[in-house]
Amino acid sequence: MQSHELLREVFQKCSAKQVASELNLSLSTIYKWAEPDDGTGSGTANPLDRIEALLRCTDDKRLVQWICQRSGGFFILNPKTNKPHPSFLIPATNEIVQEFADLLAVIATAAADNQITAREASSIRERWEELKSVTEGFVACCEGGNFSAMKEKEKNTGLSAPRPTP
Higher pLDDT, 26 or 150: 26
Q: Say how many domains are in the chain.
A: 2
**Predicted confidence (pLDDT) per residue in 100-149, tens digit:** 998 899 999 999 999 999 999 999 988 898 888 888 877 877 777 765 53
Q: Are residues 147 and 118 in the same domain?
A: yes
The reply to whether 153 and 93 lie within a common domain is: yes
What are the φ and ψ backbone dihedral angles of 118, each rounded to 5 degrees?
-60, -40
3-state secondary structure 32-98: HHCCCCCCCCCCCCCHHHHHHHHHHHHCCCHHHHHHHHHCCCCCCCCCCCCCCCCCCHHHHHHHHHH
Residue pair 4/35 in contact (Cβ under 8 Å)? The answer is: yes
Both 7 and 64 in a single domain? yes
Rounded-to-integer distance, Cα 157 and Cα 98, Å? 29
Q: Are residues 65 and 96 in the same domain?
A: no
What digits encode the pLDDT tens for the residues 5-60? 999 999 999 999 999 999 999 999 999 999 887 666 566 789 999 999 999 999 99
**Lowest mean per-residue pLDDT among 44-48, 88-92, 134-138, 150-154:** 150-154
Q: How confident is the model at residue 67 (pLDDT cuts 50, 70, 90)?
A: very high
